[in-house]
Amino acid sequence: MALYHLWEREVPFIRQLEGAGFEVVRNPHGRCCREDELIAILPGVFATVAGVEPYTDRVFQAAPDLRVVARYGVGYDMIDVAAATRHGVIIAMAFGTNHEAVADCTLALMTALVRSIVTNHLRMKSGGWRATMSPGLWRATVGIIGLGRIGKAVARRCRGFDMEILAYEPVQDAGFARQYGVSYVSLEELLRRSDIVTVHAPHTPATDNMINRDTLALMKPGAFLINTARGGLVEEGALYEALTSGRLAGAGLDVFKVEPPVGSALLTLDNVVLSPHIAGADLPTEVRVADRCIESISALARGENPGSEYLLNPEVLKTERWIGSVRKS
């Protein structure tokens, strides 16, 4: 049995799972499951196609049949990987499938903000004609926090706007930097110099609230902030203050600390452009991500290793629960 956690509409890959011999159980709640709801659904489930519901130690303890969590995406901050490993549950990821879509959305948010697209659109819809002038994207300085797959995809797009590209990234790729004119700098220098700061770091205890009152104070007055990574990277109260005080000109946000962000003060601001955690999903990407999840689940069900590069905890395949059931390494 496979549990599917994306709920808004029927999609072809549900039928692919059924064709592979799985009985598919859909999340009945019309939203992301809470911990207790997830626990109630999981008995008898071999694998899940997981969104951003919480896979905690308590969930794994209550799900003795669960063998695979196939993450529909590349972030895993809602999964207790250590707990999964203790319980012999494989965490399969869709690495390499959605970074181009996230980069597209990042540039769309940049453009919407810096060119006042939404402001001018709403003014015209209400009968106005006066335009809000903008600083423009051409040859702006962009700071990319996190130069992994997504950050690199953003940098390639920024090169087309002849931007000066700064990057803060602990693991540096000198060849990529030379090819695309990227300068590695400290986080402090990036914040001080950038007209636009875009965040693409993973959410970990070390990066929690890395954009906070102190780091926002380092940013250039009138700069823009984009976050298509994780809501936990940004201290939202401090961001609201920076946006209402005029220190920042605007923010483009696809992710939030609590999703959906019902009642968030950020939703009341005219200088914020919002999207509902959709940066990594467009129609072609949906197919790629789904195929990767299905391939991993199906391979593991057949007793095959889908590729350790897609597994967060491949060492689980060597445990008693899996030895003898996986034929390929």
Q: Of residues 277, 286, 292, 295, which has the active-site annotation?
A: 277
Cβ partners under 8 Å of residue 134, min gap 6: 114, 115, 116
Cα dihedral value 94, 285, 148, 7, nearest 10: -60
Q: Give the C-alpha separation, 86 to 73, whole Å.
A: 23
Three-class secondary structure of residue 163 per DSSP:
coil
Q: Of residues 230, 235, 236, 295, which has the active-site annotation?
A: 230
One DSSP character per residue, 11-45 reads -HHHHHHHHTTPPEEE-TTSSPPPHHHHHHH-TT-
Is residue 295 within 8 Å of residue 93, measured between CB atoms? no
Residue 193 annotated to the active site: no
Q: Of residues 115, 259, 288, 321, which has the active-site annotation?
A: 259
Residue whose C-alpha is closest to residue 146's, from 200, 222, 74: 200
CB atoms near residue 241 (< 10 Å): 15
Distance (Å) of CA 131 to CA 64, 119, 122, 248, 273: 60, 9, 11, 20, 18
Is residue 120 within 8 Å of residue 144, measured between CB atoms? no
Chain-centroid distance, C-alpha 316 = 25
Residue 236 annotated to the active site: no
Residue 15 annotated to the active site: no
Give the catalytic positions in this structure: 230, 259, 277
